[in-house]
């Protein structure tokens, strides 16, 4: 199943995890210490984030470290900006249409 980035960041715990591992790579245990939740619950969130390619795992000795896939986050930011820009362009065009209509009315 293809996970969706919107779904990934809809959850407040997942957003908090993203904020945590944006600063440094962390193990699931270290991440879980920051939340009033079980290690299992954190693992579940990490699984969703991994499926969306928002985080990457790196094996260091016995531990797995999770870190943020910055490019993927930037991609999403870019999407938002582009969509916003599309509407800005539309509305600037609408401003022109409206000012023409106002002149015609006079």
Partner 1 sequence: MNNNLLFDFTVDKAAHTVTITREFDAPLSLVWDAFTKAELIDQWIAPHPYTAKTKYQDFKVGGKRFYAMISPDGKESWAIQEYTSITPKTNFKMYNAFADEDENPQLPGSEWDHTFSEELATTKVFITIFNESLQRMEGLLEGFSQGMRMALENLENLLENLK
What is the closest distance, in whole angstroms, from the C-beta atom of residue 32 to partner 1 in the complex?
A: 23
What is the closest distance, in whole angstroms, from the C-beta atom of residue 41 to partner 1 in the complex?
A: 18
The rounded distance, in Å, linking the Cα atoms of 12 and 86 is: 28
User: For partner 1, which is the closer residue by CB, 23 or 97?
Assistant: 97
User: For partner 1, which is the closer residue by CB, 7 or 37?
Assistant: 7
The rounded distance, in Å, linking the Cα atoms of 45 and 66 is: 12
Between the two ends of the chain, the Cα-to-Cα distance in Å is 59
The rounded distance, in Å, linking the Cα atoms of 89 and 61 is: 52
Residues near partner 1, by CB under 8 A: 2, 4-7, 9-10, 78-91, 93-99, 101-102, 105
What is the closest distance, in whole angstroms, from the C-beta atom of residue 49 to partner 1 in the complex?
A: 14
């Amino acid at each position: 199943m293809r996970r969706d980035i919107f779904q990934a960041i809809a959850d407040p715990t997942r957003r908090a995890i993203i904020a945590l591992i944006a600063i440094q790579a962390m193990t699931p245990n270290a991440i879980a210490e920051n939340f009033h939740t079980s290690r299992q619950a954190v693992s579940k969130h990490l699984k969703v984030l991994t499926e969306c390619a928002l985080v990457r795992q790196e094996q260091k000795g016995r531990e797995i470290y999770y870190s943020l896939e910055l490019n993927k986050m930037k991609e999403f930011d870019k999407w938002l900006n582009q969509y916003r820009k599309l509407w800005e362009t539309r509305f600037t065009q609408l401003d022109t249409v409206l000012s023409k209509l106002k002149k015609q009315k006079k």
